[in-house]
Every structure is written in C-alpha cells, then in structure tokens.
A and B are shown apart, each in its own frame.
Chain A
Amino acid sequence: MPKRTDIHKILIIGSGPIIISQACEFDYSGAQAVKALKEEGYEVVLINSNPATIMTDPELADRTYIEPITPEIVAKVIEKERPDALLPTLGGQTALNTAIKLAESGVLDKYKVEMLAAKIEVIRKAEGREEFRAAMQAIGLKVPESEIVHTLEDAMAAGDSIGFPVIVRPSFTLGGTGGGVAYNRQELEALSVCGLDLSMTTEIMVERSLLGWKEFELEVMRDCKDNVVIICSIENMDAMGVHTGDSITVAPAQTLTDREYQEMRDAAIAIIREIGVETGGSNVQFAVNPEDGELMVIEMNPRVSRSSALASKATGFPIAKIAAKLAVGFTLDEIKNDITRETYASFEPTIDYCVVKIPRFTFEKFPEAEDVLTTAMKSVGETMAIGRTFKEAFQKAMRSLETGRAGFGGDGKEQLEHLELFELESGLRIPSSKRLSFLHEALRRGLSIENIYEMTRIDPWFLRNLEQIVAMEQEIRRVGASGLSGLGYDFLKKCKQNGFSDTQLAYLTGSSRDEVRSLRKQIGIVPVYKLVDTCAAEFESYTPYYYSTYEQENEAVRSERKKVMILGGGPNRIGQGIEFDYCCVHAAFALKEIGVESIMVNSNPETVSTDYDTSDKLYFEPLTLEDVLNIIDLERPDGVIVQFGGQTPLNLAVALAEAGVPIIGTPPDSIDRAEDRKRFQQFLQKLQLRQPKNDTVFTLEEALAVAEQIGYPVVVRPSYVLGGRDMRIVYSERGIREFMAKPGMAENKHPVLIDKFLEDAIEVDVDAICDGQKTIIGGIMEHIEEAGIHSGDSSCVLPPDTLSAGLIEEIKQATRAMAEELGVIGLMNVQYAVKDEELYILEVNPRASRTVPFVSKATGVPLAKLATKVMMGMTLAELGLTTEVVIKHWAVKEAVFPFDRFKNVDTLLGPEMKSTGEVMGIDANLGLAVAKAQLAAGVTLPVSGTVFISVRDGDKKGIVEAAKNLVAMSYTLLATKGTADYLRQHGVVCDHVNKIAEGRPHILDKLRDHQVAWVVNTSLGRRTTEDSYLIRRAALELRIPYTTTVSGAVSVVMAMQALRENALGVKPIQHFT
C-alpha cells in the first residue's frame, strides 16, 4: 500500500530531558522519524523540551516546539497547528503517556487528530497490567501469576497469596520506576505505597517472582497488512530480577535452540497481533525457566524503546525510520533496505558477529544510594561492542565503559584478592554494578561454573566464555613471564581475537602499551574491519558501518577524499551526555556541507552519532587510544576532532598528538595551558585577569596551611576531574581534614586543588567561537543558582538578566582576550564568577561545552557546525558570522535530576554534578521562560497555596523579598522557628511549624498531609542537619515542588508571578529571532 495521502501534517512528541531509562535513544528514534516523514513529503511538527537533541534542530522539523511535554501544552500546540495525525510511539513512555491523556481528555477528538501506529485502546491493552494479562491468556501464553491491585491492603493480601518474594510493577511508569522485588511484607508495603503513588492509574501488579529465570527480548515490527518480522533477539546475561536496562545484554540470543527461539518468535508475533499494534516496532520481554524451558511473557512495549535502538545498532536495521514509514501506510515490502539497496525491509536481519551491551552506572555520584540492581533501572548510560566472538565483544565493551578498565580483568585494576569467601559469594549473589569484578575474582580463584551459576544465575554459557577469558589471562601471565616476546605470533593473535587490549597485554607481560603496539604492527597483527550489513554478507552492502576484529579480510576501504575523524563521547554518564553527541553529529553535518568525508568513532548505541546515516563512515569501536589509533592507521585522516566529544576524546588528545595524529582546531598545547594550573595562572596574569585565590597541595599539612592563607570557605578537589567529581566546599579545618583523609587524596599521587570559594557570587557561563583571529561570543548565560553549584546542575538564563552592561562588556572582552591568547580555533567555554561587581575567571575550556546545544537553540546560531568549519580552516567572516546575535526573548535552562531513583540520596546541589539531563524554557517573558523550564523539568509551580520556607542563617536576608512577594500574591507562608522569626521581624506574615525535633505536628506531617505546595529549604554544605534532609527527601518522594537555593527560590517566585498574570503560550523555535 503506498503512503497515505489523506494526512498531511503529523505531530511527533519527543521524550523530553535525559533521565534514567529515557536517554539519547529517543533522540535517535525521533530524529530518524522526523527525517523519514519529511522525506515522504509530510509536514512535521515536533514538540520536545530537550534542547540538546538533534531532533530539535530548527532545520529538521517544519516547526519545532521546545516546550514542556505536558498534555496541556501539547494541546496548545495541537490547537495552533491542527495536525492531521499524532505519532506517539517514538518518544518513549513520556510521549505515549501524554498521548493517552490527550485522547482521554478529548483533545484529539476535538481537533480530529488521528493517532498513528497505535490507537489508544492498543496502548491501554499493552500497558495496563490487567488488560495485558487477559490478552496473553486469550492467546494461550503464560504470564507469571499475579494480582493487580489499587490499594495497599489488596497489595499485601496479594503478596500473602502469591508467596514471597514477589515483584511489584506499577502500571504506566517508565524504566520500572517504583517497582522492585519484595522479599517480605515490610518491603512489599514500602514498594506498594511508592508504586501506587507513581502509577498514572494508581495501579500496581504484584507478581510471582521469576528470579533466576533467563530473560530474553524480541524486537518486532508489523505493517498495516499484518506482515510481521523480528528484527533482533536479545539475551540478558543477568537473569530475571535485574531490569533489562541494567542488564548486560547480548545479541542475538545465544542459548536457545531453534525450536525454543521459534516458539518465542511465534509468541511475539501473536502478541503484537493480539495487542493490535497496527504498525511499527514493539519490544516483547520473555522469561524462560532454565530447568525446563517454560516460557512466560513478562511485558510488551508498543513503541520503539531503548532495546529497539540497541537492536537497530546491533543489526543495522533502522527500526525507528521504518516504523515512521509504516505509520503512514507503507508496507515492509515497499521499503528498501538502505544497507543492501537490493532487498526490502520485509526480512529478518541475520548477523555474523556478537553484540554485547554493558550498562554504565554512576553510583559513585550517590554514595548514599545502595548499589544493588533490581527491577527499577539505575544505570545512566550504556556502551555496545561488536566482535566476532562473545569474548571479543565483551572485552571491547568493558574497555568502552570509560571506567578506566582495559578489559575483563588483566589490567591490574581488580583488587579483590583479599576478600573472604563469604564476601565474594555475597558479591556474586547480589546483583550490583560491581558484580563483574566479583565474577572475575571467582573465576580467578577457580570456583566451579556450577557453583557460580547457582549464586549468580548467569547462564553457564556466559560463565564458560568468561572463564576462557580468565584462563587466557593466566596463560598470558605464564607465557609472558619472560616478557612480551614470549607470547609469539600465534598466541598473541589469539589473545587479540579474544579481545585482549594492548593495555592488558602490557600489564600481564610487564611491558608498555606502546611496546605491545609496535610489536603487533611489526609482526603484522593488526585488526581488520568488518561491515554491519543486516545480512551476514549474503548481499553486497553499501552502508559503511564497521567494527574491528582480528581476522583475515579487511572490508573498510580508505577513500581518496579529504577526510576528518570525529571522536565521540562514549557511554552517557553524569557529566558527559547527549550535549557532546549533539556536537559530534553537528561536526559530521558540517563536514558534509563542505564536502569533506566524516568518519565517526563512538561506542554508544543510544546516540544519533552512531546512526549510520549521520557520517560518511561509522566505526562502532571503543574510544581507547589503541582502538582509535588502529582506525587512524587505516584511514589516515587529514584531521581528527577531539574537542567535541567531551572528556573521553580529550583524554586521548595528548597521546594522539604525540603519535603524530593531526588534531585539528585548538592545539592540544592550548588545552593543556588551560587545564594545567600553573600554566593557567601565568596565562591569566599575562592578560591581567583575576581568578579566585588558589593553590595546589599534596599533603594534609600543605592543605591546612593553604586554606588558612586563602581563607575559608574554600573549594577542594582532585586535579583533572570530570563533572566535579569529589569536589567539596569546605568551611573549616575539619572539612579539610575529612577531605584529605579520603583514599588517594594525600598520597602525593594526584595534586589537590584548593580555591577560594566565592560565597553568593553569580556564576556566568560563556560559549564563544574563535577562528584564531576573531572571536564571537555565542552566548552569555547567567546562572540562577549561586557559584558553588556545578554548572551542569545550575539553571541559567540567556541573556543575563541582572548583570550590568559594563560587566557584560568586561566578560566579552575577557573572553576574546583569552581566546586569542590561547589561539583557540573552534569552541571555547569560560566560567566566570561575579562578586561585588568584580569578575573572576573560574575555568576556561577550549572545547565544546555542555551548553553549546542550549546556546545554539536559544540564539539560532549553530555553534558546533560553525566551529567545525573554522577548524577546517574557514574564517568566521567567510562563514558570515561577524556580529554577535542579540535575542529579544529569554531562554532558561533547567537541570533534571535522578534523585527519585536512589533511596536515601539528598537533593541538595553542590559542586559535584548530579543531573542527567536538561530542558529549556523559551519565552518573551522571563518569568514564563522560568516557569516553562520548571514545567518541562516536571515541576508544576503552584499558583496558590502554602509555601514552606526554612533557610540557613546566611540565606535569611536574601529570602525576605521573595517572601514578601509571595504574601502579596496571597500565598500562605509556613516557616520553621528561626526563619519565621526573621521574616516576622522584617514584616512578613507567616505561620510557624515545628521542626521534627520540636514535636508533632511537625513539618513532615504537613508535607505528608499535602498541606504544602512548595518547599524552599536551604542548608549549609552537605546534610548539615538530619531535619532539612528529611524535609527535602519527603518533598521529593511526595513530589512537592522544592527549591534548595535562595536564588532559585527568587526566580521561581518570579515565575509564579508570571504564571498568575499570563497563560503559557507556545511558539515554534523557528519563529524566535
């Protein structure tokens, strides 16, 4: 059936900010869908609040609304745009849930908007636990025994009747939020309360636990003629009980006979038909009893998902793109397979390699959180690796994780020899982010596979393969005891085929990485590159998507074109996310525009950068020096871009330059000049610029002396860190002692940096672009939160709203002076602090920053693209960028945090970054822009009600004005004693409420009674009082809006004022000039 001609305009809903369980994969799928629909001539309208996405690039959709994704706001977009259809299956759970609400509220009917791909009944049937269970039973498929309940009492009764342990699964939540395993009544109660609250329909399922069963997923696609194909099977290495997003997964399934696989395939096809997903992709999850093969259906997502992104990258089959085309009426046999060009999309990819995905966790950011993996997802990113064997792929994935590991052990980083057996066993039994280390240790000690299987429930097939890696590690130690040369050609080649990195080989043979590399090259052991072609080489393929392996035939052919390699950012983690991928993708686009071949290297399957459509060539490889140099040896690029992918490629810059690789843009020496403390100081002195007093120390004694001399408070941190890791603001000698007592701090290995902390200073972020001669300021962002809070966690306003014209001019001049002195070619980011009208330089980064996409979206200037062209030798004048853009609207960036995923974690902000994503609010009115940013971040600001204020002494003065405004807007104020006294003294009417220690009813009672609409709570440093921690945590769990800084509170009051006076309007980004 050809495409539909009765619809012309289609609305796509994105997934909003990056959060745990909804990351870049929905930018990838959304961007693909927008492109696919535009290609077919449809007018595409997009809404997504996340400015760091490629899909919100103004040239992609016809009209792009960077607005909060709430039913009300989307309704406004619909009212304005009058689309014929809505495609809700590409923006994750957010889009699906929003679409349901739009349908239920009658908005879709009112404006005659057709829901494509999946009708409302279909979504309900798939996502509603009760409907789904009934549907499965109707087609004769088994589901785990379960009860669907809507009250706590029923949940407890269900637990008793099913028998513990049970799994709690809330309906309509994403990433298993609010779910978990309950081993007893007490845990069931806690999970049920939380789950009922989080479910959109106050519904949870209490389910028989299938802990220890094997878990599989199938990616299914269906067209409007009922043709169904399976794109990929995925086997989870971690057994049931660990969320699939947190599991190590492997494609294709490894331990199923064809008979079992086909049974699963039949089931998946029956499910997509029974549920009634009309077109597009779905993901079905199964559990299989390892004892007898019994098959149970766990769940089905009637939309593209994280797994479908993974399946797309694993097979080369672009699920989202095809899903979009199917949604408008094409059938699978009408859509060509881009990769083979000869065949059609109506086939099932077959692969001739093994794919391993390993999740990336960041528990180190949340030390209070328990590092235990359950059915609620906790990982923030993932990496994927491709190899010809599981062992090769697994080791490649390990070194792609950016955790400093060079593979599965064998790199000197395992330090578990000292463990008592019972500790080791506990580490194996309880799934955690560290379980692989325990596995390695268990295998090293020679625990039997049967024994390890009993404890981990990881299928013996995987354990055997891991055992082979460990055995080979020991063999390398033995053969290489006399040195590297002992390995010999055959054995060394075998090691490489089993995924051992040069770093591991160097460590195990007591040589250096360079020695291994040069020996390898000398004796001709170099990788070959194979194509990902969807068809296991049955057909010739044209899409240059490669992975490395150590075999005979190389398929990657170097072209004669001028070529530039872009190094991506690896797996998402806090501090390194989609913003850098955005920049890398723009680099590829820019190279295409000027006719230069782009070669992308990255290991993150969620991203747009690893879409084979993005660059001319894609190498899906780990971003280690070895892997990158190997590709460079083959491709001999004219230039390599390291400044766009964040810290990951930057860490390689010096070594690459030393290896003679042509790094384009700002020279690595300039990067070093900005990062090396001493050189940076000299640099600033030369330019007569000011920085907060600072020094570098190695010992506790030095630290105490320096802190004394600089004057408390001070900021302390280890040198060369990402995302403010381990950074602290210290107010006293005791704080210094505590910090220096942390492992590794005072051991003379890494210097510790001490800076004067500028209390209550305003922080300013500047992104600029420089061609070596001229510097253009891309944007000046004033942070809403005061200095001391990591810039990635601060909300900010563009343009600045309180800085004087003189200061702005001073900032511009300083930025230009620094760019020119450093010889920046490309992008530069500067962080300033303003205190008492004086400007301080906090940090200069001559590279793409996290704020580049935000600035580009706010101003309409594609900084990353322009910077790429500058790096290719063009001048800003040639590119037509000669003046700085002045905007007449306000853009506000707000950060989004994963606190609700981690029990016991404080929500206070500090110098260590904790946010996973960001949203943008854009409006002609600053207050409304703030309100939109809040709304997009999931905070609905109250326009009336009671505001609770409890602030530390230093903040009391600052809060008075805001409090007065609140009273004037007829909010009721509630304050704890100190704050209440202060406010009353300053003429603000407020009620007093007990602190927790002061007896009941106290503030927690008020919060739990939902008597408070907004919480303002500031606290000194880290968890100063248990009281304020409990208040913040309660606010978080009860989902009461809360603010933890005075400056944040002031801006929220302004937003509430704006909201009371104006209705929120919507406007496409293309119409802001």
Chain B
Amino acid sequence: MKALIALEDGTIFEGESFTGRGEAIGEMVFNTSMSGYQEILTDPSYTGQIVTMTYPLIGNYGVNSEDMESASVHPRAFLVKEYNAVPSNYRSQKSLARFLDDFKVLGVEGFDTRALVRHIRTVGALKAIVSTEDLDRESLVGRAKAWAGFIGLDLVQDVSCEQPYGWADNCPVTGTGFSTVQAGIDNPLRVVALDCGVKYNQLRIMTEKGCQVQVVPARTDAATILAMQPDGVFLSNGPGDPAGVQGVVETVRGLLGKTVIFGICLGHQILGLAYGGSTYKLKFGHRGGNQPVKDLVTGHVEITSQNHGFTVDPDSLDKDVVETTHINLNDGSLEGMRHRLYPAFSVQYHPEHAPGPHDSLYLFDRFIEMMRSEKS
C-alpha cells in the first residue's frame, strides 16, 4: 500500500506500507544501529518520533519477548529501506510487521532512506507526517508544518508508569515500598528508579548487580522518595524536551546531597537543569550504537549507545560545582558529568545498551560503589 512521507520543508518521499493503513505525525529522526530494531521500537525515549533506520534491511530476525525494553512500541512510525518479512532466528516469535500492527504503529519501506537521512543531517530534525490515508502532497506538508511539535512539552507524563513497580525474574511486578524481591540477592542495595521512560535493561542490569529496584512514577516528589530510604536514586532516560518536563527538576534538587544519584540520558539532562545549567536541541541528535565517548578521567574511549536530541550546555554549568567527565569524540558535546560536592553523576548515553555495545556497563558498578561507600 502506497504511503507518503512528508517533511515540513516540503520534501516528500514515496514508500509502501508493510503494516497496512495508517497515519502518524511526529519528529523525524534516524538511528544508525545495524541491529536492535526491537529495542529501539520499545525504547520510550522515541515517543512522538518517526524513526528511520539507516541500515536498509530490517525485520531479518523477527521479534521476541526477551528483547523488550518496555511494554509497548513508542515511535509513531517506523521507516526502513527494505522490510524482510520472514524472520530467521531461533528466538524469533513473530514478524516485525505483526509486532508493529499489534501496537498500531505504521511501518513503511521501499524509499531512499539514505536521501532522507542526508536531508535531516543537512537541515536538522524536522516535523513530518507519514500516511497511507492522505496522499495529497500539499495537504501533508501543510499538516506537518502546522503540527506544534514537542519543544517545551512534557512527554514524560505520557510514558511514565501509573503505578509503582518492582523488578523480579526479568519482569515488572506491581508494588510499592521495595515489596518486590528478586530471589537470590542478599543485602540488596535499594534503588529508587524515577521512571521518566525507563528501559527494562536498566532495571535488569541493576537487579543482576545486586540491587533491589523500586520504580516510581516521574511525578513522585523528593520527600516520598527519601521516605523510602533508598541507597540511591536512578534517573532514567525519557522522551522529549527536558525543559518541558514538569516537576522532576525540583524533585531532583530535593534529592541532591541526600542520596546517591545516577542519571542516564533525560535523567542526565534533568540533573544538568537541577545543577542550574541549561539544555539545547542538537541539530539532528545522536541516535545509534557507534558514538565514541572519551572518559576524561581514564582517557579510555568507549563505544556507546545513544538516543537523544537535546543536550546539556557545558558552558551553562558552574565548573566549580560540576565536573565534565565524558565528552563525545565526534562533536565534542558533553556526555558525562559529576557533582563535585554531592554523590551524583550522570551520562548522556546509554550504558544499559539494548541495543548497542556493552562498553559502559562499568557505570552501573560505579553507581553501586558509590551507594556502598555512602552506606558505610
């Protein structure tokens, strides 16, 4: 079925839907990972976005229940060069098309995705619409233009959990106050994960490393969190403009210095705001699994998984209070920081990978060490 992809600047591509009828409006972004489409689709940070994969052959290994990063699919549409309908992998449980259809997300193939990527690289992220319903080019461009976009909006409330939950046996288990217990862990460190759009692998890894994780909604205030007497607070990734997120910055300010804090992606940006800094939108963001980041302390380079459109402006931070710990080797942007006085640190990228390289897992160990040393 024919589908049109229209960008707000009038650029149009013609493709074919591989999931049937549908329409979606969102911010057009691209991801350069060659594998991991299922993890990308289930990453809540893609909320409101239309994701184009640069790798042209997608669907090859199907979809399985183990590689979910949340309970649902978050991009509004998924664009690929060639959809491979019959998966081949021993873990595959269903085809990508069926998976997308289950979540009513439009999948489109059969157009020059590289041309689209080059266009975004040149002009920056754009508002876009993908449709099998409205094939009037002018109408589509007009609607893309007219869409308000996400700047200043709070998308976190759309993806954050309604009810607190814990993590055990590789599953979310509804419950509060650290009631969920993973068998086999003695003397766990108690971590409250503030869910701004948390990825399951963050919870899996912390649990594997001996933490008892309590996930709470993003609206949870500092006092409530502190009342749970956690050893540390984890600030997850999440979608949209950090400046638009309501209340979380205040929550984090309330936690600073009172517990160990580790932030990832949006969590890192929120820490930046809490430190008094500011964020800005990158031209087209970093989305992929090959971004080189240098640890300024060790000089070591790690290949990282990334997915962000906004970044913390390093010049907005007080150097006496905040230390830059990691930078991006491609564009020099800020990738990691730590508070000089309080036990708080964060990275812009995704040490929990899924998808992407495992180079940065040490950061979870660092979080655990910090919690242990604060505890003793």
Contact = CB atoms under 8 A, between A and B. Distances in A.
Interface stretch (A288-296, A728-736, A1061-1069): A288-296
Given A254-B57, A255-B89, A460-B88, A352 B353 contact: no
B55 A344 contact: no
B358 A350 contact: no
B355 interface: yes
Contacts of B36: 257-258
Interface in B33-75: 33-36, 38-39, 54-57, 60-61, 64, 66-67
A284 to B, nearest CB: 16
Interface in A324-362: 331-333, 342-344, 346-354
Contact of A333 (B57, B292, B354): B292
Contact of B115 (A265, A353, A551): A551
B61 to A, nearest CB: 5
A537 B55 contact: no
Contact of B61 (A257, A537, A551, A555): A257
B27 interface: no
B35 A261 contact: yes
Interface in B67-96: 67, 81-82, 84, 86-91
Q: Binding site of B, secondary structure by majority: helix, strand, loop or mixed?
A: loop
A253 interface: yes
Given A258-B356, A290-B90, A347-B291, A537 B60 contact: no
B70 to A, nearest CB: 16
A389 B292 contact: no
B38 A257 contact: yes
Given A258-B67, A344-B329, A537 B38 contact: no
Contacts of A923: none
A390 to B, nearest CB: 6
A260 B355 CA distance: 10
Contacts of A226: 300
Nearest to A257: B61
Interface string A352-380: 11100000000000000000000000000
B329 A538 contact: no
Contact of A388 (B38, B66, B82, B118): B82
B121 A259 contact: no
B330 A259 contact: no
A46 to B, nearest CB: 32
A352 B55 contact: yes
Nearest to A461: B88
A989 B307 CA distance: 85
Contacts of B173: none
A464 B86 contact: yes
* Most chain B CB atoms below 10 A, which of A261, A347, A537: A537
B32 A227 contact: no
Contacts of A233: 34
Interface in A465-481: 465
Contacts of A252: 34-35, 55
Interface in A951-988: none
A464 B57 CA distance: 13
Given A257-B91, A464-B86, A262 B61 contact: no
B358 A293 contact: no
Interface in B340-364: 353-358
Given A254-B60, A257-B61, A530 B114 contact: yes
Contact of B54 (A332, A390, A536): A536
Most chain B beta-carbon contacts within 10 A, residue among A259, A461, A553? A259
A591 B329 CA distance: 37
Given A257-B35, A343-B329, A262 B353 contact: yes
A353 B290 contact: no
B54 A389 contact: no
Interface in B239-256: none
B294 interface: yes
A225 interface: yes
Interface string B85-111: 011111100000000000000000001
B303 interface: yes
A536 B117 contact: yes
B90 A537 contact: no
Contacts of A349: 290
B294 A333 contact: yes
Interface string A718-760: 0000000000000000000000000000000000000000000
A344 B293 CA distance: 11
A464 B38 CA distance: 21
Q: In which size bucket is the chain A interface?
A: 35 or more
B193 to A, nearest CB: 22
Nearest to A1: B299
Given A291-B90, A351-B55, A537-B114, A389 B33 contact: no
Contact of A464 (B39, B88, B113, B354): B88
Given A333-B329, A350-B33, A350-B54, A225 B300 contact: yes
A1014 to B, nearest CB: 55
B57 to A, nearest CB: 6
A352 B35 contact: no
Interface string A228-255: 0110010000000000000000001111
A270 to B, nearest CB: 11
B288 interface: yes
Nearest to A553: B115
A266 interface: yes
Nearest to A292: B90
Nearest to A540: B121
Given A257-B36, A333-B329, A347-B292, A265 B86 contact: no
Chain A CB count within 10 A is highest, among B87, B89, B121, B294, for B89
Contacts of A259: 66-67, 354
Contacts of A555: 118
A552 B117 CA distance: 13
Interface string B118-131: 10010000000000
A183 interface: no
A229 B303 contact: yes
Contacts of A290: 90
A535 interface: yes
B301 interface: yes
A537 B54 contact: yes
B13 interface: yes
A257 B303 contact: no
Contact of B32 (A256, A266, A350, A540): A350
A539 B34 contact: no
Interface in A431-468: 459-461, 464-465
B81 A388 contact: yes
A256 B88 CA distance: 9
B42 to A, nearest CB: 12
Interface string B242-273: 00000000000000000000000000000000
Contacts of A225: 299-301
Contact of A354 (B54, B56, B61, B64): B56
A226 B359 CA distance: 12
Instruction: Give me the 5 closest cross-chain CB pairs, A-B, nearest first.
Output: A258-B36, A553-B115, A258-B355, A536-B54, A461-B88
Interface of B: 13, 30, 32-36, 38-39, 54-57, 60-61, 64, 66-67, 81-82, 84, 86-91, 111-115, 117-118, 121, 288-292, 294, 299-301, 303, 329-331, 353-358
Given A343-B329, A460-B86, 4 more contacts: A259-B354, A353-B56, A388-B81, A538-B32
Interface of A: 225-227, 229-230, 233, 252-262, 265-266, 290-293, 331-333, 342-344, 346-354, 388-390, 459-461, 464-465, 530, 535-540, 551-553, 555
30 contacts: A227-B301, A252-B34, A254-B57, A256-B35, A258-B35, A258-B354, A260-B89, A262-B356, A333-B292, A342-B331, A347-B291, A348-B303, A350-B34, A350-B289, A352-B54, A352-B55, A352-B114, A388-B56, A389-B57, A460-B86, A464-B86, A465-B84, A536-B54, A536-B55, A536-B288, A538-B117, A539-B330, A551-B114, A552-B111, A553-B112
